[in-house]
Chains A and B, each alone.
Chain A
Amino acid sequence: MTAPSQARRELYGSRQVYEPHKASLPPMGPYLREFWRRRRFAYELSRTTQKADNFDSKLGSIWLVLNPLLLATVYFLLIEVISQSSSGLAGFLHIVIGLFTWYFVAGCISLGATSVTSGGKLILNQSFPRALLPLSSVISAFLRYLPTIPVYLVMYSIGLLIVPASNTGSKALMRPSWAMLWHPALMVILSITGFGLAMIFATMTVYFRDTNKFLAYMLRMWLYLSPVLFTVDALKAKMDHVSIFGVHLGNILIYANPLGPALGIMGDVWVKGVAPAPVLVGAAIAWALVLLFGGAWIFISRERDFAVRL
């Protein structure tokens, strides 16, 4: 081995100055450069962590598909029994895609919340842009989400074969449409939103360890308040008679909810089979950007404090 060459020095940006700070952003240029250079770390961390998590499980990664499927069945039964409106197989399939997508975002949030507190050893011993940890949570959530796509496509194809035969009026709801090609764009929006939320909840957990305990209940309520088990229209119809300060409660529930517009897009695309309403797309993108920049600010301005608090 030779002494580090000048070129190498330059490559690794040789000079760092550490000074006291009070919740302020570090120089963002170098931060983002280092962040981007180590993106592979975020990926490998989530890949290997997932592998480590399945270490003790017999069924291993099959649980990634089994989990949302079982949940979908539970919710389907719940809705069928409580609402007594039979939406049949089509209704079931809508709930399934809704829950698969919801669990991607919920995964971003719940994995993100503990990403910093569980990365204690790494944080105490290595200096790197900490935002890579919540990013790794988003990647983990996405890796978990991936196997549900083929599962859903198979279910949907089977549904298409069966539903036209049953004459329950749900035939209109099972209509493959080009609008479904919006789904990848929706996933991009949800990933950005999820990254923002992961950073916010990661920071909250560092200062407030109980966040993680509340999170399970919070996510459950969030799910019920989001257009996942219901479409935007159904939610609005349900809240028809209520308004606060002249604003329709249904609208508040959808647009004040960071995930409302994005999950509303999903309903438009998968349930109605139409291109999403522009106002939903606009609101979804706006929420994604607000949460990304807001979350980044909250996280990055405090991340140098994390090592002291672990």
Chain B
Amino acid sequence: MLSDSEFAVRLEHLTIRYRTTYESNPTLKGAMLKFGRGRGEKRRKVRVVEAVKDVSFGVPHGTVLGIVGSNGAGKSTLMRAVAGILPPSEGRITVDGRVSTLLALGVGFNGFLSGRENIMLGCLAAGLEMDEIALKYEQITEFAELGDFIDMPMRTYSSGMYGRLAFAVSVNMDPDILLIDEALSAGDARFKEKSFNKMKELCAQARTIFIVSHALGTIQELCTDAIWMNQGELIKRGSPEEITESYLRFLKVGPSAIAMEDV
């Protein structure tokens, strides 16, 4: 058993619940209708979704952890919880180090601002100082290879350029713990290879990295450890080969070429 300080991330009986209602937004009208409906009538339906159910595991420093699972398995929720964005409903998360996130929805970019301004805002929100940002900015723009587009509003970007910038920001933040959600599919074949190499470089630096990907080949090549989640539960933990194999068997498709490639 490892002592507490040797874990980069430790989850103890983590459960995360969302309360979703059938109303898309909580509004006064809804509240009044609910009020008006009274007790006996059908009330506003509240459905509690358990996105993550009683998950416990520890990740030692330097681990590259792959997370696989079907859609809705709770992978992204788990990542957000580790990043401190979503609070646990039960259990406890201990994170030792600075976290940088690259999550599926982008990095909080405002489409009317240029790439340059978005980088600055992202870095400031992450808690960097202005002089640090100036240094980072060089690395980020060099990596993203956007050319003149860096000073254009981001709404003029293609989705590939958008993803390239998001990836460049995230990997250049010098994080202790890097969380990557479906990011390697950003950009064209050349950028994909470049980001894959960058990932390998980061993995080799003994950083802790969480990768959520449906590209099982990526998981096998980069990760040192893997977990498989299904419907919020941790099904299995093991070596990347073992986990991807079990996962594929579960999907009943076998290790076909389609699932191994980045789709």
State which residues 79-116 of B face A: CB under 8 Å.
80-81, 83-99, 101, 103, 105-110, 112-113
* Cβ B125 vs Cβ A9 within 8 A: no
- Complex: A8 Cα to B206 Cα, angstroms: 16
* Cβ A123 vs Cβ B124 within 8 A: no
- Complex: A52 Cα to B112 Cα, angstroms: 5
Contacts A14-B98, A305-B87; is A209 near B27 (CB within 8 Å)? yes
Which of A2, A19, A127 has its CB near the most chain B CB atoms (within 10 A)?
A127
Which of B84, B93, B120 has its CB near the most chain A CB atoms (within 10 A)?
B84
Return the contact of A126 from the options B31, B88, B113, B126 (Cβ within 8 A).
B126
Per-residue contact bits, chain B 17-29, to A (CB 8 Å; 1 contact, 0 not): 0110000011111
What's the minimum C-beta distance from B202 to chain A, rounded to whole angstroms? 8
* Cβ A4 vs Cβ B174 within 8 A: yes
State which residues 164-223 of A face B: CB under 8 Å.
207-210, 214
A: number of interface residues (CB 8 Å): 48
- Complex: A209 Cα to B24 Cα, angstroms: 11
- The yes or no answer to B122 lying at the interface (CB within 8 A) is yes
Per-residue contact bits, chain B 35-62, to A (CB 8 Å; 1 contact, 0 not): 0000000000000000000000000000
- Complex: A24 Cα to B130 Cα, angstroms: 33
- The yes or no answer to A51 lying at the interface (CB within 8 A) is yes
What's the minimum C-beta distance from A124 to chain B, rounded to whole angstroms? 6
- Complex: A208 Cα to B198 Cα, angstroms: 44
* Cβ B93 vs Cβ A17 within 8 A: yes
Per-residue contact bits, chain A 33-45, to B (CB 8 Å; 1 contact, 0 not): 0100110110011
- The yes or no answer to B241 lying at the interface (CB within 8 A) is no
- Complex: A127 Cα to B103 Cα, angstroms: 12
- Complex: A1 Cα to B176 Cα, angstroms: 12
- The yes or no answer to B233 lying at the interface (CB within 8 A) is no
What's the minimum C-beta distance from B166 to chain A, rounded to whole angstroms? 9
Which of A12, A49, A126, A208 has its CB near the most chain B CB atoms (within 10 A)?
A126
- The yes or no answer to A48 lying at the interface (CB within 8 A) is yes
Return the contact of A38 from the options B89, B106, B109, B127 (Cβ within 8 A).
B127
* Cβ B27 vs Cβ A307 within 8 A: no
Contacts A18-B84, A20-B87; is A12 near B117 (CB within 8 Å)? no
Residues of chain A within 8 A (CB-CB) of B75 are none
Per-residue contact bits, chain B 151-178, to A (CB 8 Å; 1 contact, 0 not): 0010000000000000000000011100
* Cβ B92 vs Cβ A124 within 8 A: no
Residues of chain B within 8 A (CB-CB) of A12 are 98, 127
- Complex: A53 Cα to B97 Cα, angstroms: 37
* New A-B contacts (5) at CB < 8 Å, excluding given A18-B88, A45-B121: A52-B110, A125-B85, A209-B27, A210-B27, A305-B87
A-B contact pairs, 15 of them (CB 8 A): A4-B97, A12-B98, A16-B95, A41-B125, A44-B124, A48-B113, A48-B121, A49-B110, A124-B103, A125-B103, A126-B122, A128-B127, A208-B31, A214-B28, A305-B87
Interface residues of chain B, those whose CB is within 8 Å of chain A, are: 18-19, 25-29, 31, 80-81, 83-99, 101, 103, 105-110, 112-113, 117, 120-122, 124-127, 130, 153, 174-176, 205-207
